[in-house]
Every structure is written in C-alpha cells, then in structure tokens.
Chain A
Amino acid sequence: MIVNNRTIVRTEDRTVTTIKPRRSPEPDLPGRYLVTGLLGFILFAIGVPLLAPELVRTNDDPGVFALTHLAVLGWITMTMFGALYQLFPVALGGTVRSPRLVRWNYWLLAAGIAGFVPSFYWGWTAGVAIFGSLTVGGVLHFAFQLLRSYPSVRDWHPMAYYVLAALLWLVATIGFGFVYALNWHFAWFSVTDSMLAAHVQMGLAGWLGLTLMGVSYKLTELFALAHGHGRALTFVNLGLWNVAVLGLTLSWLFEPRGWLATVFAGLLAMAALLHVIDIALLLRTRRRRKLTVEQWHSFVSLASLLTAASLGLLLVLGHAPGRNWVVAYGYAALAGWFGFAIVGKSYKILPFLSWLHRFSGLAGRQPVPLLSELVDQRLAWSSFGLLVAGFAGVLAGLLLGDAAVVRAAGAIYAGGALLFALNVARLVLPLALSRRSQLVSQEITA
C-alpha cells in the first residue's frame, strides 16, 4: 500500500514505514549555486587586500559596500541557497516545488548580483537600483519557493524551524535593502547609520545566522554520529535569538540611542554563547571521536561568532574607537563565522554530491572510494592553516587600523582561499565531465 510516497509494510510482528527514497536533486541544481558561491569567495578574498586602505578607514565607502555585498550575496547567500536546495529534500524530506522555476531563479540572482556589486563599487546609483531589483527578484523567488514547499517537510528537525525563521528574516532584509537601493538613486529620504544597522542585523543574524545554526545542528548530528542530545537548549536558543534580532532591529529603527538596543545586543551575545555551548554539548555525544578538518573549521567559526558578538556589544555600548571596528565586526562575522563554516562544510557537501553522481551506481558491485578519499586532505589542512593565519591577521589589522597588516594578512587569506578552490576543482571537474559525457551519450542514444 502506498500512501503519500510512503509504503506501509505489514510484517508478522509490527507495522513498519518505509520511505521510497528518490529525493536528491540533480547535482547541477545546487552545484551551480555552490560553484558561483566559490567564485564569490575567491573575489572577496582577493578584494580584502586590494581595499585595505578603505577598510581600515570606514565602513561608509562604496568599495566597502561593494565588498560586503559581494561576500553576503555573491558568496554566502549563493552557497546557502545551493546547500538548502540540496538539504531541504535530503535532510528534511521535503520536495522543492516547481524545479523548472528554480533553474530560472539562479540566472535571475546571478545576473542581479553580477551587476549590483560593480554598480555599488563605481557608485552608479541607477545600476544599483536596476540590478538591485533583479537581485531582490531572485532572492524573493527563492524564499517564496522554499516557503511554499514547507508543507511537504517530513522530518521536523530543529533545522526546519531555524531555516523557516531565517527565510522570514531574508524577506525582511531584502525588503529594507531594496528600499535603500532605490532610495540611493531617487533620494526619497535620508538613510541614517542606525537604519543601515537594522538592515545589517537582520541579514547577518536573522537570515545568515539562523540558516547556518540550523544546518550546523543537522550536519553535526549526521557526520559526527551525535545521537541522544536533547533539543530543549536548541529551541530556547531559537526563541532567544529571534527575540534579540527583532528587538535590536526595532531599537535601531525607533530608538537607536536608547537602552533597549544595549539590552537586545546583550541578549543576542548571550544567545550566541548559548549556541556555542549547545554545539559543544552535541559534540560530546558524538560516537565518531576523531576530529576532521571540517570540524576544525567549525571550531574557528564558533570562536569567530563569539568574537563578532563581543565586538557587536562593544559597538552598541559606544566603546568602539573608530569606524574601522564596525568593519572588523562585519569581517569577524562574514569571513570568520560564516566563512569558516562554509569552507568546512564544503568538505562534506561537495564530496557527497560528487560521490553520489559518480560512484553511487557502482556501490555494491565494485569497490568505490570513501568521501574523505575524494578530498585532498593535505591541501585541505594547508588551506585551513593559511585561512586561519590570514583571518586573524586581517582582523588584528582592522582593529588596529593598519592597512599594511590587512594587506599582508589578506594576501595569506587569499592564498588559503585559492588552495580551497583547487581542492574543490579536483572534486567538481570530474563530476562536470561525467555529466557532460552522460548527456552526450543520451543524445546519441536518442
């Protein structure tokens, strides 16, 4: 008997439910987002040393705006969209609706970001408005697609709730960003620092933060075989985090100098600490004891989260000596918290995609490689070392306001990013070639 894609099998002693698993999307769907995200990462890594003088001076600069949006949209959001298209069906058992429309989503988004970031850099306000509109279209379309797919979710793991909340914050963030982008061209009203801060807070903590935390809970359980961890703290953190982001956003908008902003910034820092403690407790239950290169990336990511939360609190309290500390806050969050998490998780997600489509049809019939064997481990550790050294150096340079330090450390970071890209290329190129030959043979057969 088949009910809702499940087969109910009655055996002698019990009824068992089997899920007919045909859920993974075609690899090129998440793959195109992930590869574009990688390109965004490389450009960001190269952009940091090139823009060192601007970065140590102020956050209020077209070049810094461009670099920030390159990181947020071109690298991190692109990667998260790709990861969610992969994980939504696989990890949550949901079905993404209208896959053909989803393919259009990529082109809309990619075209928007490709025009939006240079327009920012050159201060072309009409370009910001036009390409910003395309980007907004792509982002809203993604959010809409995933939100309307939510009724199909079968495994209501905490990740499902985190991503759901994140999507709502994404819509709010992009709404504010859209108004600001149009306003830059049409000059309807004056955008204050605190209005920008509300936009940044919703994007960083609301959209990116909640997505990353949700995905981290799921992937840590999966890959570390961490079972039996209670979920109470995870849901407390979800509530606390959302209240803090909402409170902080409203404070920035309506009472930027008031005490409420300090209270909610403190609450957000507390929630960040709670999340780190929760992940540490989850890891204590892991049965796979040996720490992998992915997990070391996660540790640096979590340390960066605490650094960013502390810097954010200092900024709200008015203890920052200059605007370069605002840049340092953003850098700790983007390159540290999100960046290390993305690079680390790529060592799991990309080999899985590659293995699934190159070797899964052979498994059981002949020996096939393990996922870890698809990644060059020496290259991964070398990249990690350079990224950590470069990241720490750039952060120190930004806090000290020293452009030479930012430039030198940024170059080291870019070296780490290039080694990572080389490792990814080793994974993705055979996959792309095998897909191409598969399509050619299908055409010949037809």
Chain B
Amino acid sequence: MSEPRLKLPDDLLVSEAWQQLECVYDPELGVNLVDLGLVYRLDVRGGEVQVEMTLTTPGCPMSDSMPDAVERALLTIPGVSRASVDVVWEPRWVPEMMSERARRELGWM
C-alpha cells in the first residue's frame, strides 16, 4: 500500500524550498546557491516546484551537477511531488547578484 501523499500549502513549500536551496553549496566557492544569487525564480503549484537558475558562467564546470543537486534537494522536502530545474543564461549572472554574506565569505568586502 502506498503512503498517503502529504499535502502542504504552496506558500509553506516556497519557504521550505528556499531554505533547502540554502543547503546546496557551490563546491568550488563554498557558498550556497541562494547567496550566490544563482536562483532566479522559484514557483510552487500543487506540490510541484519549478526553479529557474543560472551558473556563474556558461563554461562553468559544475553545469552538469548543480541543477541535479537542486532537484535532489527539492525532492527531499515532504510534500514536494515533482521538481524541475531550468538553467537560463539571461540575465547573465554578475558578481553584484551575490548577497552581502557571500561577498564577505569570498573576501570581496
């Protein structure tokens, strides 16, 4: 018998999803993807999460693994039935998109 599907309000899932993405780190920079400013959009509809994200550069060596990591992280949230990640290059990421915390960690300020 399959487990009953947990249903949570979408706005609660949105906040859970952002928290979960803060646990996904760029393994080269040691800063999470949210603070790096790589996550452009996060939508939840009926337990399905859709993320639009970018990478620091189109030739980023992590272009294979970061979107997968985001998808996996989202699927660990109870109540999320599906997660999809689109990698976009517009607008192009610039360092100014980083949060103050990320800038401090990288020694920029």
Chain A residues in contact with chain B, CB under 8 A?
7, 9, 11, 14, 16-19, 21-24, 90-93, 154-155, 157, 218, 221-223, 225, 227-228, 287-290, 348, 352, 355-356, 359-361, 363-365, 367-372
Chain A residues with Cβ below 8 Å from B4 are none
Top 4 nearest A-B pairs (CB, nearest first) are A364-B69, A364-B72, A289-B107, A364-B73
Q: Which of B54-89 contact A (CB under 8 A)?
A: 56-61, 63-74, 76, 86-89
Chain B residues with Cβ below 8 Å from A17 are 88-90
Interface residue? B52 (CB, 8 A) = yes
- Distance between Cα atoms of A92 and B59 in the complex (Å): 6
- Give the distance to chain B from A307, nearest Cβ to Cβ, in Å: 30
- Are B108 and A364 closer than 8 Å at their CB atoms? no
- Distance between Cα atoms of A228 and B89 in the complex (Å): 16
- Are B89 and A360 closer than 8 Å at their CB atoms? no
- Distance between Cα atoms of A421 and B70 in the complex (Å): 34
Chain B residues with Cβ below 8 Å from A90 are 59, 61, 63-64
- Give the distance to chain A from B18, nearest Cβ to Cβ, in Å: 14
Chain B residues with Cβ below 8 Å from A22 are 64
- Are A370 and B95 closer than 8 Å at their CB atoms? no
- Are B76 and A365 closer than 8 Å at their CB atoms? yes
Contact with A along B20-53 (1 / 0, CB 8 A): 0001110111100000000000000000000010
Interface residue? B106 (CB, 8 A) = yes
A16, A155, A356, A364: the one within 8 Å of B59 (CB): A155
- Give the distance to chain A from B16, nearest Cβ to Cβ, in Å: 14
- Distance between Cα atoms of A9 and B94 in the complex (Å): 22
- Are B29 and A288 closer than 8 Å at their CB atoms? yes
B30, B59, B71, B94: the one within 8 Å of A157 (CB): B59
- Are A288 and B27 closer than 8 Å at their CB atoms? no
- Distance between Cα atoms of A22 and B65 in the complex (Å): 9
Q: Which residue of B lies closest to A359 (CB)?
A: B27
Q: Which residue of B lies closest to A360 (CB)?
A: B65
- Give the distance to chain A from B61, nearest Cβ to Cβ, in Å: 5
- Give the distance to chain A from B65, nearest Cβ to Cβ, in Å: 4
Q: A363-B69, A365-B73 are in contact. Are A288 and B107 (CB under 8 A)?
A: yes
- Distance between Cα atoms of A11 and B88 in the complex (Å): 11
- Distance between Cα atoms of A223 and B56 in the complex (Å): 10
Q: Which residue of B lies closest to A21 (CB)?
A: B63
Chain A residues with Cβ below 8 Å from B76 are 364-365
- Give the distance to chain B from A356, nearest Cβ to Cβ, in Å: 6
Q: A290-B107, A360-B65 are in contact. Are A352 and B90 (CB under 8 A)?
A: no
Q: A18-B86, A21-B87, A371-B28 are in contact. Are A289 and B108 (CB under 8 A)?
A: yes
- Chain A CB within 10 Å — which of B28, B58, B67, B98 has the most? B28
- Are A363 and B72 closer than 8 Å at their CB atoms? yes
- Give the distance to chain B from A2, nearest Cβ to Cβ, in Å: 13
- Are A227 and B107 closer than 8 Å at their CB atoms? no
- Are B63 and A19 closer than 8 Å at their CB atoms? yes
B30, B59, B70, B90: the one within 8 Å of A91 (CB): B59
Q: Which residue of B lies closest to A372 (CB)?
A: B30
- Give the distance to chain A from B101, nearest Cβ to Cβ, in Å: 14
Known: A22-B64, A24-B61. 14 other contacts (CB 8 A): A7-B86, A16-B90, A17-B89, A18-B88, A21-B67, A223-B28, A225-B29, A287-B98, A287-B103, A363-B69, A364-B24, A364-B74, A364-B76, A372-B30
